[in-house]
Amino acid sequence: MSEAPQKFIFFDRDGTLIIDKVYLNDPEQIDYLDGVFEALSLLRDAGFKFAVVTNQSGVARGLVTIENLDEIHRRMSEKFAEYGISFAGFFYAPYSVESNHFMRKPNPGMLLAAGEKQAIQFDRSWMIGDRATDVEAGHRAGCRTVLLEGVETSETIAKVKPTFVTSSLLEMAKFIVGSDQTWDSTTSKHVSR
């Protein structure tokens, strides 16, 4: 018997779960964003599965090594586990910005790759990030999206049309939990009540 498709939340890494240090290569320099453990606990309790999808062009530029990247993700995994939070995977795109590689956001390759490992209900899933490229990747994979305010201009935000915009991880989590309660399994759509 195959497993029922799961509802997922795809998280960007830098500027979404941890502070964006720009080409982070030192596992000692991981700093978690405010409210991240509380926010993900709420979402876990609502039945969502998690994956990290992160562009790492620093690898192509020779500024980040695969060995350090793996160690950063190992440590993050260990830290979140202290809060009972786990990730189905840490997907990264080590390609250059110019490559426009299918695995690199705004393309949806990493999200779709996660869907090849296990059945994912994309239309009930979400992509969370601080960049327009995160929102675009989420929409291309058929997900709804939350943009975390801080780096993108209001003009850019208006252009990519995230489902929800907030600067707070906790508000993000509460919005998704509330929104998921309007999911109608018979029509596979969100209904307004």
DSSP code, position 170: H
Min dist. Cβ of residue 31 to Mg ion (A): 14
Min dist. Cβ of residue 110 to Mg ion (A): 13
Candidates 189, 175, 121; CA nearest to 145 is 175
Residues in contact with Mg ion, counted by CB under 5 A, come to a total of: 4
Q: Under the criterion CB under 5 A, does residue 130 sit at the interface with Mg ion?
A: yes
For Mg ion, the closer CB: 18 or 43:
18
Q: In sequence order, what are the residues at sequence separation of 6 or more whose Cβ sits closer than 8 angstroms to the Cβ of residue 103?
A: 91, 93, 95, 109, 110, 113
180 an active-site residue? no
Q: Under the criterion CB under 5 A, does residue 136 sit at the interface with Mg ion?
A: no
Query: Residue 165: beta bridge partners?
Result: 147
Residues 8-47 that bind Mg ion (CB under 5 A): 12, 14-15
Structure tokens at 134: 């995160």
Cα–Cα distance for residue pair 149/15, rounded to 1 Å: 10
Candidates 55, 47, 35; CA nearest to 148 is 35
For Mg ion, the closer CB: 47 or 150:
150
Q: Under the criterion CB under 5 A, does residue 152 sit at the interface with Mg ion?
A: no
Min dist. Cβ of residue 102 to Mg ion (A): 19
Structure tokens at 146: 């939350």
Angle between the N-to-C axes of helices 132-140 and 109-117, in degrees from 0 to 180, rounded to the nearest 10:
50
Q: Under the criterion CB under 5 A, does residue 58 sit at the interface with Mg ion?
A: no
For Mg ion, the closer CB: 14 or 180:
14
For Mg ion, the closer CB: 130 or 180:
130
Cα–Cα distance for residue pair 15/34, rounded to 1 Å: 11
Which residues contact Mg ion (rule: CB under 5 A)?
A: 12, 14-15, 130
Residues with catalytic annotation? 12, 14
